[in-house]
Amino acid sequence: MRRHRDDRPVEIGNLALDAPTAHAQPREAESAQRAVVAPRHAGAGQRQWWRLRPSWPGSRCALRVHRATIIERMSADREVPLYVDLDGSVLRSDTLWESFASALRRHPLRTVAALAALASGRAALKRRMAQLGAPDVDTLPLHEGFVAWLREQRAAGRRIVLATAADRALAEAVAARLGLFDQVLASDGRRNLKGRHKLAAIREDAGGAVFDYCGNGPEDVAIFAAARRAVVVGASPRVVRAARSQADVAVEFERRPARAQRLRWLLVALRPHQWLKNLLVLVPLLTSFRIEEPMLGRDAFLAFVSFSLAASSGYLLNDLLDLGADRRHPRKSDRAFAAGRLSVPSGFAGSAALLLASLAIAWAVGERFAATVLLYLAMTGTYSALLKRIALLDVAMLAGLYTVRVIGGGTATGIPVSVWLLAFSVFLFFSLALLKRCGELVAQREREEDTGKGRGYEVSDLPVLQSLGIATSCAALVVLALYVQDPDVARRYASPQVLWLMLFGLLVWLGRLWLDTARGRMHDDPLVYTLRDRGSRWTVGVLLVLFGVAAAVDLPG
């Protein structure tokens, strides 16, 4: 490292920096060995700068460097080929796991059977998964900053080769999408191009000449060491340290997020706000007026926890099976798995762990309740794998999933669920499921899309679905009216006449939901909308108060 006058460039590692931005901390700048590069995007017509954050401990020095200085330095080496990893580097995801998730959605039984291909090696498994469920490469999430840097290298005339352990068919599809690579080195179904095999292929392709390499995983460290210079992309701190100790690291892009951040993303993916649906397990306890019994309250609480864990397990699995459709959705594309912030294997592991915890709690409550949870899980799996894309059967299954929660509350506490309650639940939840689909179709109509990819509905179906949804809402209200008139019911409530006010309030609430859906104000999930909409919150609150008054307050008349 050399010192320069303030009007001369300063070299840090392999990057040229304008000295006027660096001279304030000459000693710190002088001791820098590496720099983390993060693009700072400027507006149209403005100069674009990159901020370099020196990586030594305790340094407060922040250096700004014009992107042209980096490009100039790197383009000077354009005779040196640049080899680029795909999974986790160009892409934020892994093509093998993407293929597995896609294949599991399309052909669940054949996918499980195809795991036997692993006996012939990982390359054979990758080829089989790519054949069963090749993902839509046009929607796979990219490391955008790194890809932009590759485009600059390409524009400077540098030869860039995609060197990946992914199956060749997928690697070539991604290469065709980006248009950045002169050649593709990939797994061919027999040899898994990873680690030493990739290094051998790179050396053979380079003809023994020097090369630069871009990667992200621990298996790339040996290739970093053999390369002239290394570019580290989205790597963990452990890989970054190993790369620095064994290689000349020129640039680092987007280090892997900290564990705490990944846990926060995972918590959001669990959708804890959706656990409110599982309060339906309390309905048998409330309608039987036995909520004051502590043992029953304990069993109902455990049932709530078990259903919540099972539901979150299903949410994770559903996100993984719906990656392609979510990435095309205007809002769902920002979900952690769709955006590549969380890895696909972590999703499968989390789903399995939640499932086991749910079953353990269910078994502790009782065998009948455990059987109910197993039924719920089977219905969830059937919905995610098969029925989600079949018109009307999907909403019927959603209504069934809501109703099973009510039944689960009965099996957990030993309280029989009345036919009145089951009928009301089926009609009400069928209506709410249709409400969700109508909200999606209204959004599609506003985007001028005719068909929802991954769904069995078209925008032209909207009038039919609205009519069916309103009709089932009315059916639920009729069931409630018949229930209120039943003489046995009148004897169980202190003031049964108040239930008629509940019926009126429910009519107003359902009418408001359908009206707002027609106006395009409905969130995809009616529950989320209800929680956010002040009028809906007040209406639901009043309904609960009226139920309490009907049950406990003896009014005259």
Alpha carbons 391 and 396: distance in angstroms, whole number: 9
Q: What is the pLDDT of residues 141-170, one digit of tens each?
A: 999 999 999 999 999 999 999 999 999 999
Q: Collapsing DSSP states into helix, strand and coil, what is residue 64?
A: strand
Do 476 and 548 share a structural domain?
Answer: yes
Do 209 and 341 share a structural domain?
Answer: no
What does the mean pLDDT of the chain come to? 84
Domain closes at, from 75, 97, 112? 75
- Report yes or no on 224 lying in a domain: yes
Higher-confidence position of 187 and 331: 187
For 379, residues 6+ apart whose C-beta sits below 8 A from its C-beta are: 397, 400, 401, 404
Do 249 and 274 share a structural domain?
Answer: no
Band of pLDDT at residue 78, cut at 50, 70 and 90: confident
> What CATH code is carried by the domain that includes residue 386?
1.10.357
Q: What pLDDT sits at residue 96?
A: 96
Alpha carbons 41 and 33: distance in angstroms, whole number: 25
pLDDT(417) > 70 = yes
Band of pLDDT at residue 60, cut at 50, 70 and 90: very low
Please give the model's pTM, rounded to 2 decimal places.
Answer: 0.79
Of 515, 433, 504, residue with least CA distance to 469: 433
Do 536 and 513 share a structural domain?
Answer: yes
> What CATH code is carried by the domain that includes residue 154?
3.40.50.1000
Do 207 and 196 share a structural domain?
Answer: yes
Q: What is the pLDDT of residues 520-540, one digit of tens each?
A: 888 667 877 887 888 888 998
Do 316 and 339 share a structural domain?
Answer: yes
Higher-confidence position of 75 and 99: 99
Q: Give the side-chain half-sphere CA count within 13 A for 141.
A: 22
> Where would I find the beta strands (DSSP E) of 137-192?
160-167, 183-187
Do 207 and 302 share a structural domain?
Answer: no
Among positive and negative, which fits the CA dihedral 339, 342, 345, 348?
negative
First to last CA, the chain: 94
Do 319 and 388 share a structural domain?
Answer: yes
The total domain count for the chain is 4
- Report yes or no on 2 lying in a domain: no
pLDDT(282) > 80 = yes
Domain closes at, from 256, 277, 298? 256
Of 250, 366, 392, 262, residue with least CA distance to 306: 366
- Report yes or no on 4 lying in a domain: no
Q: Give the side-chain half-sphere CA count within 13 A for 528.
A: 12
Instruction: Give the residue numbers spanning the domain of 41.
Output: 10-75
The first and second tokens of residue 347, run together, are 């999703």
CA distances from 263 to 215, 326, 337, 343, 402 (A): 24, 21, 13, 12, 28
Burial of 159 (0-12, 13-18, 19+ CB in 10 A): middle
The answer to whether 307 touches 405, Cβ cutoff 8 Å, is yes
Q: Collapsing DSSP states into helix, strand and coil, what is residue 257?
A: coil
Do 41 and 138 share a structural domain?
Answer: no
- Report yes or no on 192 lying in a domain: yes
- Report yes or no on 450 lying in a domain: no
Q: Collapsing DSSP states into helix, strand and coil, what is residue 523?
A: coil
- Report yes or no on 109 lying in a domain: yes
